[in-house]
A = this chain, B = another copy of it.
Amino acid sequence: MRKEKISSAVIRRLPRYYRHLDDLYRTGMVRISSSALAKSMGLTASQIRQDLSCFGGFGQQGYGYNVKRLRSEVAEILGMNRDHTVLILGAGNLGRALIENFPFSANGFRLVAAFDVNPSLVGTRLGGVPIHHMDTLEEFLRDGPASVGVLTVPTRVAVESARRLFDGGVTGIWNFTNVELPEQEMPGVRVENVHFADSLLTLSYMISEETV
């Protein structure tokens, strides 16, 4: 799959495409028109044709998309077949929620370990995943590098934890702390933020606007 320079807006939509195509695939649908796919996703058919054409254009005019093939192609573009490995730093409530409930493997990631400083957690397993002491992170990463580190640590240790992941060679950080990480000091590491507060404040704006 050759990739052109793709806008970040298109990239942001790709996971949604995957999610919809995966749903359709699981219901047994074989083929879908761009207009039907558009309707189910709340987009226009021309937007869908344009988005997908960025990646080489799998659609045939008047014939629609092969659901299974398009799903696989989008998965490939998203890097879901790379055997990415994940570590979770911080096995508090949120870390535990991700460990026990988030389908990492269905998204192409293998969760190999979690790290915490809580003595009642270290040495145990959650959902089959071993919890190691944070002090052993460097040693763990020396033995086998990981693709992604998930930051679900307390705010005050967020930056320090990110640096340790960077030093240990991870290529991505999934950041759930409400802290902006010093990305310019971690060249080669991609950071994806999940800012709960920003999301709730966006909702706050929307519902307040209604009632002005």
Contact = CB atoms under 8 A, between A and B. Distances in A.
Interface string A1-30: 001000000011011101100000000000
A174 B199 contact: yes
A207 B93 contact: no
A203 B148 contact: yes
Contacts of A96: 93, 97
A103 interface: yes
Interface in A134-172: 147-148, 171-172
Interface size class on chain A is 35 or more
B79 A204 contact: yes
B199 A192 contact: yes
Contacts of A16: 195, 198
Interface in A73-125: 77-80, 82, 84, 92-94, 96-98, 100-104, 107-109
Contacts of A107: 197, 200-201, 204
Contacts of A12: 198, 202
A197 B19 CA distance: 9
A188 interface: yes
B94 A201 contact: no
A78 B205 contact: yes
A100 to B, nearest CB: 6
Given A3-B209, A209-B3, A203 B190 contact: yes
